[in-house]
């Protein structure tokens, strides 16, 4: 699903020092924090779940042609590691060449889906996975169009909390 | 004039000579003493020719018994082995050459090559080129021995020096620990002795009022000389600049960098209104006490703000300081969190630290 609107870059994106790893520890912490937020918002806006480091380095995310600056690879890895610690990034492989970007963590997805279920009175009913992500009732929901594998992960989390139960491969029942 | 041909005979090798004896007439025999043999060359035989042995010789001695010829243009004798035996003879000849029996039994022996004790070296009896070579070799050996003996003394000297150094550093440490036992004056005197020996005293840097009288006086001189230039230079100056200024002012009796450094280290303790300061990068500066970091930081930050961003060179031009000093100021402000850096192909620039400020 393509982004409907153009992405709003934060002010840091046009600030050249943003693309240099800062030496002052406090300044650097704030810088990395800003990058983390940017990475998540960017992926959310473009509904992207995967990131390949090699491709990302050249993408507009880490490379601002207008001011001719790009974040060096060490910086990118630092940002991704920081996101990994927060649970927003999961590396695909040990060599850390690509990862999944959870712009919402699985826990957050679980909460969002469950609150929708209770809001719409779907508790104690069975829903299909399809109607959750593709159905007409959820078009305005953030999880609309979500990849199946991610949906299942979120629902599994709810299941382990005792709030839902996966039925077969296509359905789920929410509990109060 | 017929030459006797020495055709048919046998060759005898003893420990001291090679003897050729005619097979038919045992009265006829000629010999060559082994001590004159330089080396022997083997020529193996083939079809139609016999194996030969060429024995190269030194010049004959003057007192030799007369031989087949009184003079020869050749310096070797060649034996032709018609009936074989050449290899064995060659081997035996070489071992006899190595054993050098004639040297051991001769009463006028040359000095043996390996002798630790003072061997009696008699006059070397040899003539000709080899004789000269042997004399040179002997001289060289004697020189070598002398040098080794001399160096033994030097090694002993070095050992003593090591002891002395450790002794003085022991005393220096004791001074550091128990200052009360020795008066300040004596401490200073002792330190100046150490310094004149070339032992830099580590105590000088840490203790109060330390250092030699000389350096103390120097410190006063430096302080009075540099007070005004420092004030003109915003209270701070590179140590190398200070060095140049002082020596230019002195004209004669120039100061060594080391003396300057030692004197400057005392400035703070002597309360001379200025001090030596070392930045994290290792840069050394002289700084007036009235110089404050905060002022520099806020001034630098303001300048960067006004220009949106600055490089070290640009700042240097703005405040008329050296590029090195300008860079230190920017780094200072960065460390204080007032500036942030932008490192790119265009170089290193500094911006106001917008990360720390609320969003624009």
Q: What are the residues whose beta carbons fall under 8 Å from the beta carbon of B77, sequence distance 6 or more?
A: B32, B54, B55, B57
Reduced to 3 states (helix: H, G, I; strand: E, B; else coil), residue A45 is helix
Distance CA A123, CA A173 (A): 7
Q: Report the residue of B330, B355, B357, B359 to disrupt the A interface, i.e. the one with the largest count of A CBs within 10 Å.
A: B355
Tokens for B319? 């405040």
Helix, strand, coil percentages in chain A from 3-state DSSP, rounded to 5:
50, 15, 35
Interface of A with B (CB under 8 A): 11-12, 15-17, 19-20, 22-24, 26-27, 30-31, 34, 68-69
Listing DSSP states for B260-296 in one string gives: HHHHHHTTTTTT-SEEEEE-TTS-EEEEETT--HHHH
Q: What are the residues whose beta carbons fall under 8 Å from the beta carbon of B175, sequence distance 6 or more?
A: B182, B187, B190, B203
Buried b (16+ CB within 10 A) or exposed e, B279-291: eeeebebbbbeeb
Tokens for B211? 């250092």
Q: Which of A130-144, B157-171, B178-192, B209-223 has the lowest mean pLDDT?
A: B178-192
Distance CA B325, CA B285 (A): 9
Share of chain B above pLDDT 90, in %: 17
Portions of chain A given CATH number 1.10.10.10: 106-174
Distance CA B279, CA B288 (A): 15
Q: CA of A76, closest CA in chain B: separation in Å?
A: 16
Q: Which of A11, A12, A27 sits opposite B337 (nearest CB)?
A: A27
Q: What are the residues whose beta carbons fall under 8 Å from the beta carbon of B163, sequence distance 6 or more?
A: none
DSSP-derived pairing of the beta strands B51-57 and B37-43: antiparallel
pLDDT at residue B108 in the model: 42
**Which has more confidence, B67 or A10?**
A10
Q: CA of B334, closest CA in chain A: separation in Å?
A: 7
Portions of chain A given CATH number 1.10.10.570: 11-101
Distance CA B343, CA B276 (A): 31
Which segments of chain A have a pLDDT < 70? 1-4
Class of domain A11-101: mainly alpha
Set of chain B residues whose Cβ sits within 8 Å of the Cβ of A20: 340-344
Tokens for A33? 């924090």
Set of chain A residues whose Cβ sits within 8 Å of the Cβ of B359: 11
Instruction: Please answer whether residues B117 and B145 qualify as being in contact, where contact means their C-beta atoms are separated by less than 8 angstroms.
Output: no
No. of H helices and E strands in chain B? Answer: 11, 12
Whether the pLDDT of residue B74 is over 90: the answer is: no
What's the number of CA atoms in the CB half-sphere (13 Å) around residue A62? 23
Reduced to 3 states (helix: H, G, I; strand: E, B; else coil), residue B30 is strand
Domain A106-174, architecture per CATH: Orthogonal Bundle (1.10)
pLDDT at residue B12 in the model: 85
Distance CA A100, CA A90 (A): 5
Q: What interface predicted TM-score (ipTM) does this complex get?
A: 0.81
- pTM assigned to the model: 0.54
Whether the pLDDT of residue B123 is over 70: the answer is: no
Average pLDDT, chain B: 79
Environment class of residue B307 by beta-carbon count within 10 Å: exposed (0-12), middle (13-18) or buried (19+)?
A: middle
Give contacts of B 295-324 with A, CB under 8 A. Answer: 309
B340 and A11 in contact by Cβ < 8 A?
A: no
Whether the pLDDT of residue B156 is over 60: the answer is: yes
Whether the pLDDT of residue B203 is over 50: the answer is: no
Q: Which of A11-25, A113-127, B178-192, B288-302 has the lowest mean pLDDT?
A: B178-192
A26 and B334 in contact by Cβ < 8 A?
A: no
Reduced to 3 states (helix: H, G, I; strand: E, B; else coil), residue A88 is coil
B130 touches chain A (CB under 8 A): no
Listing DSSP states for B103-157 in one string gives: HHH-TTPPPPS--SS----------HHHHHHHHHHHHHHHHHHHHHHHHHHHHHH
User: Partners of B278 in the beta sheet?
Assistant: B284
Set of chain B residues whose Cβ sits within 8 Å of the Cβ of A27: 334, 337, 340, 353, 355-356
A16 and B309 in contact by Cβ < 8 A?
A: yes
pLDDT in tens, B211-257: 577 788 888 888 888 888 888 777 888 999 999 988 888 877 788 89
A11 and B359 in contact by Cβ < 8 A?
A: yes
Q: Find the closest chain A residue to B341 by CA distance.
A: A17
Q: Which of A12, A16, A26 sits opposite B342 (nearest CB)?
A: A16
């Amino acid at each position: 699903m393509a982004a409907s609107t153009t992405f709003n870059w934060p002010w840091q994106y046009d600030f050249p020092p943003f693309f240099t790893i800062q030496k002052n520890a406090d300044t650097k912490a704030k810088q990395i924090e800003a990058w983390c937020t940017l990475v998540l918002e960017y992926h959310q806006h473009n509904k992207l779940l995967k990131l390949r480091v090699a491709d990302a380095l050249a993408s507009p995310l880490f490379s601002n042609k207008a001011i001719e600056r790009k974040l060096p690879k060490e910086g990118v890895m630092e940002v991704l590691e920081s996101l990994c610690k927060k649970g927003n990034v999961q590396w695909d492989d040990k060599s850390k060449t690509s990862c999944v970007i959870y712009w919402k963590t699985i826990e957050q997805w679980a909460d969002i889906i469950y609150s929708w279920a209770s809001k719409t009175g779907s508790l104690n009913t069975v829903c299909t996975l399809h109607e959750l992500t593709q159905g007409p009732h959820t078009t305005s929901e953030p999880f609309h169009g979500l990849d199946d594998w991610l949906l299942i992960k979120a629902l599994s989390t709810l299941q382990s909390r005792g709030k839902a139960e996966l039925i077969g491969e296509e359905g789920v029942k929410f509990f109060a | 004039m017929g030459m006797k041909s020495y055709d048919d005979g046998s060759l005898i090798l003893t420990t001291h000579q090679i003897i050729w004896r005619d097979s038919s007439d045992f009265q006829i025999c000629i010999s060559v003493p082994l001590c004159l043999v330089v080396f022997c060359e083997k020529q193996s035989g083939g079809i139609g020719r016999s194996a030969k042995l060429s024995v190269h010789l030194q010049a004959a001695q003057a007192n030799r018994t007369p031989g087949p010829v009184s003079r020869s243009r050749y310096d070797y004798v060649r034996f032709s082995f018609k009936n074989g035996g050449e290899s064995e003879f060659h081997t035996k000849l070489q071992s006899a050459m190595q054993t050098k029996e004639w040297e051991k039994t001769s009463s006028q022996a040359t000095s043996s090559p390996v002798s630790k004790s003072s061997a009696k070296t008699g006059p070397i009896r040899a003539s000709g080129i080899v004789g000269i070579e042997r004399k040179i070799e002997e001289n060289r050996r004697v020189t070598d021995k002398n040098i080794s003996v001399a160096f033994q003394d030097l090694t002993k000297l070095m050992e003593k020096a090591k002891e002395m150094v450790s002794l003085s550093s022991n005393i220096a440490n004791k001074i550091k620990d128990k200052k009360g036992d020795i008066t300040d004056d004596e401490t200073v005197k002792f330190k100046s002795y150490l310094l004149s020996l070339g032992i830099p005293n580590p105590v000088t840097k840490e203790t109060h009022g330390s250092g030699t009288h000389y350096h103390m006086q120097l410190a006063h001189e430096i302080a009075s000389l540099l007070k005004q230039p420092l004030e003109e230079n915003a209270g701070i100056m590179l140590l190398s600049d200070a060095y140049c200024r002082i020596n230019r002012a002195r004209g004669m009796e120039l100061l060594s960098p080391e003396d300057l450094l030692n004197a400057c280290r005392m400035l703070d303790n002597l309360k001379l209104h200025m001090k030596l300061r070392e930045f994290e990068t290792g840069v050394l500066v002289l700084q007036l006490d009235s110089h404050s970091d905060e002022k520099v930081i806020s001034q630098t930050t303001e300048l960067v703000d006004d220009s949106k961003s600055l490089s070290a060179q640009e700042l240097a031009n703005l405040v008329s300081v050296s590029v090195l000093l300008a860079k230190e100021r920017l780094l200072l402000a960065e460390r204080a969190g007032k500036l942030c850096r932008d490192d790119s192909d265009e170089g290193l620039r500094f911006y106001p630290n917008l990360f720390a400020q609320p969003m624009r």
